[in-house]
C-alpha cells in the first residue's frame, strides 16, 4: 500500500455529518454559506440528527440546551482550584472535561446535557482566571446569547450575538480534522462521551490545530507593539524558514471559505471596538503572504481578532474553539459508536530487522 504522510488524502471512513468535497464545506448536505446565519441550535440539531428541526423541535431543543448550561456544585468547587493554576487554559479544560466523567450520573449525560456543560465550563474557566464570579444562564435567552453572557458577564447586543453565532457555526464541524478523528478513535472503542471529548481537547490544544488562533494574535501583538513593518516582519520570518500561522490549509488550496465570512465579521468588530489597527495589519500580512507564498488565510486567521474584540485573552482562544467544535465532536462520537467498528490502522515498519537477542553471555546474566 502507498504511504500517505499524515494520512493526507486517505479516506478513513464514511460520514453523513459534514464534507469538504471540492473545497466546499457543507453540513449534512447544506453548503455553509446558506447556514451561516441560521440559529446555532438549529445547526447543532442538524449535525446530530441529519435534518433540520421543525419550529417546535427547535424551540424544545433550544430550551433543553440552555437548561443544561450549568455545572454541578462539586465540579465548580474543583474548577475554582485548578483554573487558577499557572497552566494554559487548555490544560485546565482537559481536566475539567474529565471531571464530570467521575460523577455517578454519567449514564444520563446525553449530548444536549454534555454540550451545555462544556459551554458553561469554558465560560467558567474564563471567569475564574479573571477573578470574576461565575454567571448563570437565562432560560429565556438562546445558547449563543447565554454563552457570551456567561464568559463576559454582560448581556450582548443583538449584533454581537449574530456575529458570534456565525463564528460558532463555522467552527462547529470540519469532517475528519485531527481532534475529531481523535474523538472517533476513542469512540470506536465504545468508551464514554467524556473520555472521547477529553481526547479531542488534547488534540485541539496543539499549535498546529486549535492553538493556531492564539499564535496568530501573538504575531499581531508583536508587530503592533514593536511598531514593526508587517511586510518586513513576514519577509524576515519566511527567510528564516519560519511558519506564518493562520495561512494555508490541507484541504482548501485556493482559500478557506470560512475565512471569507470571518473576515467581514472581524472587520465589523474591529471597527466597533477600536481595533482597526490589528485588522489593517492582517490585511497587509494577507497581501504579502499571497504574493510571496500564494497561501490564503484559514479559519484561525480572522478568528484571533474576533475573539480579541470580545475582550478575551489570547490564551482562551483555543478553549473558545473547543466551545464551538464540541457540537461536531459529539456528532462524530454518536456516529462512530453506532458503527461498532474499532479503528485500528496498520503501519509500515522501517526499523532494523533480523536482529537476535544475545543469549548465554556472562554480561547478560542476572546476579
pLDDT (0 to 100) of residue 108: 67
pLDDT (0 to 100) of residue 317: 95
pLDDT (0 to 100) of residue 38: 98
CATH number assigned to the domain with residue range 212-309, chosen from the 4 options 3.40.50.1950, 3.40.190.10, 3.40.47.10, 1.10.230.10:
1.10.230.10
> Among 259, 277, 307, 61, which residue's Cα sits nearest to residue 160?
307
pLDDT (0 to 100) of residue 252: 86
Q: Which CATH architecture has domain 39-156+178-206+319-339?
A: Orthogonal Bundle (1.10)
Q: Both ends of the chain: CA-CA distance in Å?
A: 48
Of 249, 296, 308, 332, the active-site residue reads 249
- Span 247-277, pLDDT tens digits: 988 788 888 999 999 999 999 999 999 999 9
- Span 37-95, pLDDT tens digits: 999 999 999 999 999 999 999 999 999 999 999 998 888 888 888 878 778 899 999 99
pLDDT (0 to 100) of residue 80: 86
The DSSP-derived string for 301-318 is: HHHHHHHHHTT--GGGHH
**Sequence spans of domains, the chain:** 39-156+178-206+319-339, 212-309
Of 171, 296, 300, 332, the active-site residue reads 300
> Among 97, 146, 314, which residue's Cα sits nearest to residue 134?
146
Task: Let me know if 249 is a catalytic residue.
Answer: yes
Give the cell for residue 91. Answer: 490544560
pLDDT (0 to 100) of residue 270: 98
- Which residues, given as ranges, of the chain have pLDDT below 50? none
Task: Let me know if 138 is a catalytic residue.
Answer: no
* Residue 18 β-bridge partners: 27
pLDDT (0 to 100) of residue 31: 96
Calpha distance 45→51 (Å, rounded):
7
Q: Is the pTM of this model over 0.75?
A: yes
Calpha distance 212→247 (Å, rounded):
10
Q: What values do phi and psi take at 27, rounded to 5?
A: -110, 120
Centre a 10 Å sphere on the Cβ of residue 171 and count the other Cβ atoms it contains.
24
> Could you give the count of Cα atoms lying within 13 Å of 287 in the half-sphere of its Cβ?
9
pLDDT (0 to 100) of residue 361: 63
pLDDT (0 to 100) of residue 364: 57
Amino acid at each position: 500500500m502507498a504511504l500517505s504522510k499524515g494520512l493526507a488524502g486517505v479516506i478513513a471512513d464514511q460520514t453523513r455529518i459534514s464534507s469538504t468535497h471540492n473545497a466546499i464545506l457543507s453540513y449534512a448536505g447544506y453548503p455553509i454559506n446558506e447556514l451561516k446565519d441560521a440559529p446555532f441550535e438549529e445547526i447543532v440539531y442538524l449535525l446530530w440528527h441529519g435534518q433540520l428541526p421543525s419550529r417546535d423541535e427547535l424551540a424544545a431543543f433550544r430550551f433543553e440546551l440552555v437548561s443544561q448550561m450549568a455545572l454541578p456544585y462539586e465540579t465548580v468547587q474543583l474548577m475554582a482550584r485548578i483554573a487558577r493554576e499557572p497552566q494554559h487554559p487548555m490544560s485546565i479544560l482537559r481536566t475539567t472535561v474529565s471531571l464530570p466523567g467521575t460523577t455517578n450520573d454519567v449514564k444520563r449525560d446525553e449530548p444536549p446535557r454534555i454540550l451545555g456543560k462544556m459551554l458553561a465550563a469554558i465560560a467558567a474557566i474564563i471567569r475564574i482566571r479573571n477573578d470574576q464570579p461565575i454567571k448563570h444562564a437565562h432560560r429565556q435567552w438562546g445558547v449563543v446569547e447565554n454563552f457570551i453572557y456567561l464568559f463576559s458577564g454582560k448581556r450582548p447586543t443583538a449584533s454581537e450575538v449574530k456575529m458570534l453565532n456565525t463564528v460558532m457555526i463555522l467552527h462547529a464541524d470540519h469532517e475528519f480534522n485531527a481532534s475529531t478523528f481523535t474523538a472517533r478513535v476513542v469512540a470506536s472503542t465504545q468508551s464514554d462521551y467524556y473520555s472521547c471529548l477529553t481526547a479531542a481537547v488534547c488534540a485541539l490544544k496543539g499549535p498546529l490545530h486549535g492553538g493556531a488562533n492564539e499564535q496568530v494574535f501573538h504575531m499581531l501583538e508583536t508587530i503592533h507593539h514593536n511598531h514593526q513593518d508587517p511586510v518586513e516582519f513576514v519577509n524576515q520570518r519566511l527567510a528564516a524558514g519560519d511558519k506564518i500561522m493562520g495561512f494555508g490549509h490541507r484541504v482548501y488550496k485556493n482559500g478557506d471559505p470560512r475565512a471569507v465570512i470571518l473576515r467581514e465579521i472581524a472587520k465589523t468588530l474591529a471597527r466597533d471596538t477600536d481595533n482597526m489597527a490589528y485588522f489593517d495589519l492582517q490585511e497587509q500580512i494577507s497581501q504579502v503572504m499571497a504574493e510571496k507564498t500564494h497561501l490564503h488565510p484559514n479559519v484561525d486567521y480572522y478568528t484571533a481578532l474576533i475573539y480579541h474584540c470580545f475582550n478575551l485573552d489570547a490564551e482562551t482562544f483555543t478553549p473558545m474553539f473547543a466551545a464551538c467544535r464540541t457540537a461536531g465532536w459529539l456528532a462524530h462520537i454518536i456516529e462512530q459508536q453506532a458503527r461498532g467498528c474499532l479503528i485500528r490502522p496498520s503501519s509500515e515498519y522501517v526499523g532494523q530487522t533480523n536482529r537476535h537477542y544475545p543469549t548465554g553471555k556472562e554480561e547478560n546474566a542476572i546476579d
